[in-house]
Structures are given as structure tokens and as C-alpha cells.
Amino acid sequence: MRIGGYGLVIVSTILWGIAGGLGGFLINKGWDPLVIAFYRGLVGLIFMVIWLIIRPARGNKKTIFWSILAGIGVTGNFAFYFFSMSESSIAVAATLMYTAPIFVFLLAFILGIERASLFKWLAIGFVMIGVVFLTEVYRVDAGVVTTVGLITGLSAGVSYALFIFSFKYATKYGQPPLILTLTFTTFIGLMMLVINQGEAIALIMSEDVLWVLLLGIIGAGLSFFLYVRGLRRTSPTVASVIAMVEPVTATLFGLFVMNEVLSWSQVVGMSLILVTVTVLSVKER
């Protein structure tokens, strides 16, 4: 059972990493990041509705509330992630998003759910140093990451933290099939307000539609299903370590498929962020 759970979580995080790479591929072809994010969530919604039909579940008002909040988190995560990618690189955007646990801890501090400790503040400090190296904001000649890329990348992390926080509470009042269906329904409703509908139609009619479908299947539909199923069979500590597979996979995709290049300082920053966040997550679990 444990081996099966580990395998499901690993596969899901690898799929998320590949999805990030596919998003970068479509962005390089000139498609709007928001439109790409929209279709990723739309395919995910189709998967969740099918799952809900197969495994009917009930909920209450609290289920709806936390699921909608989780939907807001997913909306920000998908949209900001791809937008950051368009302003930086796949590797940078994926690593910045991986700072999500830091924001979870900060939110917990603010709400009084957790107590601050020297170790946690040091971890936050190390992550901030890692972000400086990763984005090379200290360079006078303006590094590879724009200010917009930095802000949206961190915003993707904040949004992911909101999803984690909300999904955790939603599972206390409902089952994943219903929660994720409501989550992605909220996502579609919000994204319909901001996407360029003309470009959305054009993308569906283009030769890139198969890439979009593949992105949605592996980046929202199949991956979320496998992750939730795997999480039931493994420990949260192991899941925290395995989560590092996503930014690593996305980075490898960017380096070897998209021919992206990282400087030595970016490698140092990326390593500092990944190791610190993983150690912090494991210690907290």
C-alpha cells in the first residue's frame, strides 16, 4: 500500500513538472498564458466531473465555502505560474512556485495557528536569499527575470498555499471528487472573466489543440486524481519530499527540451530554495 502511494504521488508530481514544460512550449509559440491556464483547468474540470459521477459525494455549506476558496487558489496558481514563465523561464517560475510552504507557514503565524521559531525564520531567510540568487535581481544590467516575472512567480506560490490551506479544511467536510469539482468550477468562472475569448477560440481551432489537451490531461486531470489517491496511502512527510520532483522535472524540461540556460548563481538559488523548503516541510510534518 505504501509503495503504491509513493508511486502515485511521484507520478503526479512528474506530470505537474511536464505540464509546466508544455505550458512554456505553448507560450513560446505565442499563445496567451491566461488562455493556456484556462484550458488546463477546463480539462481538469471534465476529469473531476467524471470522477464525481463514478464516486458520488455529498457536502455542506462549509464544503462549498472551502472549495470555492481552493478554486481561487488554483486560479491564481495556474494563471500566475504561466504568466511568470512568460516573463522568466520554466525553471525560475517552477522554483518560485515551490516557495508555497513558506507562505503557508506565514499565514499560520498570522492566524495564530502556529508559533514562530528560530528555525522557521531562518528557513524563510534562506529562501529569500535563494530567490535573490535565482532571479538575479542584484544585477545592474537586469537579469533574466523581470519584476513582473518575480512578482507573479511568488504570487503563484501564495496562490498554491491558499489552495493547500483551503483543500485541507474542505476535506474535513466533504470528499475529494466533490471538492475538486467545485474547485475547478470556481476556476472556470473566474478565468472566463479575464481571458481573451477570441484567442481561446483560435487556440481550439489551431494545430496546437492536441498539446493543450495533453497539458490539461496531465497537468490537472490525471495528476490531481493520482495525487489525491496517493496521498491517502503515504505519509505527509514523504509527500513533502516527493513534491520537490515537480520543479526539478520542470527545470529539466526547460534545460533539455526548451534549451534554457541557467547561470551558476541561479543554480545556487534554486538549490537553496528546494533544499530549505523540503527540510522545513519535513520537519514541520
pLDDT tens string 117-144: 788 788 888 888 888 888 776 565 555 6
- Are the C-beta atoms of residues 167 and 179 closer than 8 Å to each other? yes
Alpha carbon separation from 273 to 53, 94, 168, 244 (Å, rounded): 40, 11, 24, 10
Residue 82 has pLDDT above 80, yes or no: yes
- Helices then strands (H, E): number in the chain? 14, 0
Domains identified in the chain, total number: 1
The residue with greater pLDDT, 262 or 6, is: 262
Going by pLDDT thresholds of 50, 70 and 90, the confidence category of residue 1 is very low
Q: Which residues neighbour 57 within 8 Å (Cβ) at sequence distance 6 or greater? A: 174, 175, 176, 177, 178
Q: What is the pLDDT of residue 52?
A: 96
pLDDT-above-90 percentage for the chain: 48
Q: Strand, helix or coil at 31?
A: coil
| pLDDT class of 159 with cuts at 50, 70, 90 | very high
Fill in the amino acid letter for 41.
Answer: G
Q: Looking at residue 161, what is its pLDDT?
A: 83
How far is it, in rounded angstroms, from Cα 95 to Cα 251?
A: 8
| pLDDT for the residue numbered 132 | 82
Contact 77, 23 (CB under 8 A): no
Cell numbers for 271: 538549490
Helices 264-284 and 100-111: crossing angle in degrees, nearest 10, is 50
Per-residue CA distances from 67 to 25, 71, 163 (Å): 31, 6, 9
What is the value of pTM for the model shown?
A: 0.88
CB of 246 closer than 8 Å to CB of 98: yes
Q: State which residues form the domain around 104.
A: 2-284
Residue range 279-285: mean pLDDT, rounded? 70
Pick the more confident residue, 23 or 234: 23
Q: Whole-angstrom Cα distance, residue 58 to residue 22? A: 35
- Say what the pLDDT of residue 109 is: 75
CA distance 66 to 78: 18
Mean residue pLDDT of the chain comes to 87
Q: What is the pLDDT of residues 160-199, one digit of tens each?
A: 888 988 998 899 999 999 999 999 999 999 999 999 999 9
Mean pLDDT, rounded, for 2-19: 82
How large is the average pLDDT for residues 257-279?
87
In this structure, what C-alpha cell is assigned to residue 126? 534562506
Helix (H) or strand (E) holding 24: helix 2-28
92 and 145 in contact (C-beta within 8 Å)? Answer: yes
Is the model's pLDDT at 246 over the cut of 60?
Answer: yes
